[in-house]
Amino acid sequence: MAQEYLSAAQVDRYGRFVAGPTPEELERFFFLDAAALEEARDKRRWGGRLRELRDPAATDEEE
């Protein structure tokens, strides 16, 4: 026998935020301490960096 545990209103809200996150909540979830920043820097390699899109042979005087 199947039994419903959630009301229709609960099903509608499931997996959704009631409101947008506050700046304080975002800081708490996305803050990197010194150790985390150092670990991220260690993993950063040349191939993962953004490359310049313009022709490296071009100079500013030509533009």
Q: Give the tens place of pLDDT for each residue, 5-55.
A: 888 888 888 888 788 889 998 888 888 889 988 998 888 877 776 666 666
Position 34 in a domain: yes
**Residue 14: per-residue pLDDT:** 84
Q: How many domains does the chain have?
A: 1
Q: Quick check: pTM over 0.75? A: no
Q: By residue range, what is the domain housing residue 25?
A: 17-42
Position 52 in a domain: no
Position 32 in a domain: yes
> Is a pLDDT exceeding 50 seen at residue 1?
no
As a whole number of angstroms, the distance between CA 20 and CA 61 comes to 47
**Residue 54: per-residue pLDDT:** 62
